[in-house]
Amino acid sequence: MKDIKQGFNIDYTIIFILLCLGGISIFSLYTIEPTLPAKYDGFNFPLKQIVWYVLGFIIITAVMIIDYDRFRQFAWWLYGFGVLMLLMLELNIPPNLVHSNNGATSWFKIGSNTIQPGEFMKIFLVIIQSHIIVRHYEKRPNSKTMQDDLMLLGKIVGVALPPMLLIAMQPDLGTFLVLASITAALILVSGIRWRILLSIVGAILVATGAFVLIYILFPSATGDFLSDSAFGHVTSRFEGWLFPEQNADSSYQLLQAMMAIGSGQLLGKGAMQMDELNIPERHTDMIFTAISEQFGFVGASIVVTLFFLLIYRMIHTSLESNDQFGSYLCVGMVGLFTFQVFQNIGMSLQLLPITGIPLPFLSYGGSSTLAYMLAIGVVLNVRSRTKTYMFD
């Protein structure tokens, strides 16, 4: 029978969560601004964040107008555009627009604003991988052999490797890991045999164990090898994470962050009642420390709960969708947000090593905020076009 909900369904819970996160972000940036270094004087981060949020909601509206199934028609174009932007950064084209910061060449600078192609590449990768999975099963509806599974795995990993390699050369470990988490999430639900997936996980665990053993037995040689690699800066962060007291320079940001979070205790010190701690990138990657210091465990728990509810609603949308492409799109976005939230909060608590990765919707940033809004727009699009049938 025809569906009993033919209207344009909007998930108001997700909209409400976005408004809550936006309010927390803007207020936190307002309270952080007086503690930022002098080079940020006059930037007015709260006002700029409001502008990014307004543009973000415009993007959500625009994305929801288009049927998400049409994204498949432009999947390869979007993917190609994203890879081209990353390639231009690597080739320093055009040189007057390519911008570097903290040793990473990840931005184009236009006027006073910067654009980070890697943030949008996350969304493009979700779209192209979802399209590849659906297309694979459309071509082979009745074939489910080991060879088919290996072919699908090769396709998914194959499209992920070019942007991951280009981002590794920037270098940008945070974005690299996000692309890896998106790929892993979609592989997990792609229908590939568990035998293959468990073999891959086993191989990764063995390789990781071997690396750790080699590092323990030959720390100097391993450290020199890593220092000469694309992620040479990761070595110092890894050592600062494991042995913060012995590596004061590389663990400075971590130790300051933990002091700020710990000083908040249960209820926090109150709005704008922060110690003069010099925490690098406090308005971007380390904004969780400011929230925890001012509002304590209770405030931090509210933030974590909002993210939990957001991811839950995205999973719910994926499960309810009666279209494979829509379900895969949502799963890719779940992989994106889950890893970023877990990594950002975890690195502030010394649960994970520090990487340059923002906290979605809370950290200041134009490219990141717009990219996350685009991702949410895709999820809301899937939700709005999900049909509920009688006797389904």
**Cα angle value 373/73/310 (rounded, 5°):** 25
Region 38-57: what's the mean pLDDT?
89
Would you give the distance in Å from CA 218 to the centre of its chain? 34
Return the biggest CA–CA distance within the chain: 69
pLDDT single digits (tens) 283-321: 888 899 999 999 999 999 999 999 999 999 999 999 999
Residue 98 DSSP label: E
- CA–CA gap between residue 350 and residue 340 (Å, rounded): 15
Q: Which two tokens stand for residue 77?
A: 């174009």
Share of the chain above pLDDT 70, in %: 90
- CA–CA gap between residue 29 and residue 291 (Å, rounded): 10
Q: Closest by alpha carbon to 113, among 93, 99, 124, 127?
A: 99
Q: Which two tokens stand for residue 8?
A: 């344009």
Question: In sequence order, what DSSP letters do the residues of 226-267 get, joined into one string?
Answer: HHTSTTHHHHHHHHHHH-TTT-TTTTHHHHHHHHHHHHHTTT
Distances (CA, A) of 106 to 48, 122, 287: 21, 14, 21
- CA–CA gap between residue 272 and residue 33 (Å, rounded): 10
Side-chain-side CA neighbours of 75 within 13 Å: the count stands at 20
**pLDDT given at position 3:** 43
- CA–CA gap between residue 2 and residue 390 (Å, rounded): 7
**pLDDT given at position 2:** 41
pTM (two decimals): 0.90
Share of the chain above pLDDT 90, in %: 52
Q: Which two tokens stand for residue 37?
A: 């270094």
- Band (pLDDT 50/70/90 cuts) for residue 331 is very high
pLDDT single digits (tens) 48-66: 999 999 999 999 999 999 9
Name the β-bridge partners of 78.
none
Query: Contact, 382 vs 324, CB < 8 A?
Result: no
Distances (CA, A) of 254 to 68, 265, 289, 308, 350: 41, 17, 10, 24, 7
The amino acid at 115? I
Q: Is the pLDDT of residue 223 over 80?
A: no
pLDDT single digits (tens) 185-206: 999 999 888 898 999 889 989 9
142 contacts: CB under 8 Å, gap ≥ 6: none
Q: Closest by alpha carbon to 352, among 194, 150, 181?
A: 181
Q: Is the pLDDT of residue 383 over 70?
A: yes
Virtual CA dihedral for 124, 125, 131, 137, nearest 10 degrees?
Answer: 180
Q: Which two tokens stand for residue 108?
A: 């184009």
- CA–CA gap between residue 314 and residue 5 (Å, rounded): 19
Region 167-175: what's the mean pLDDT?
89
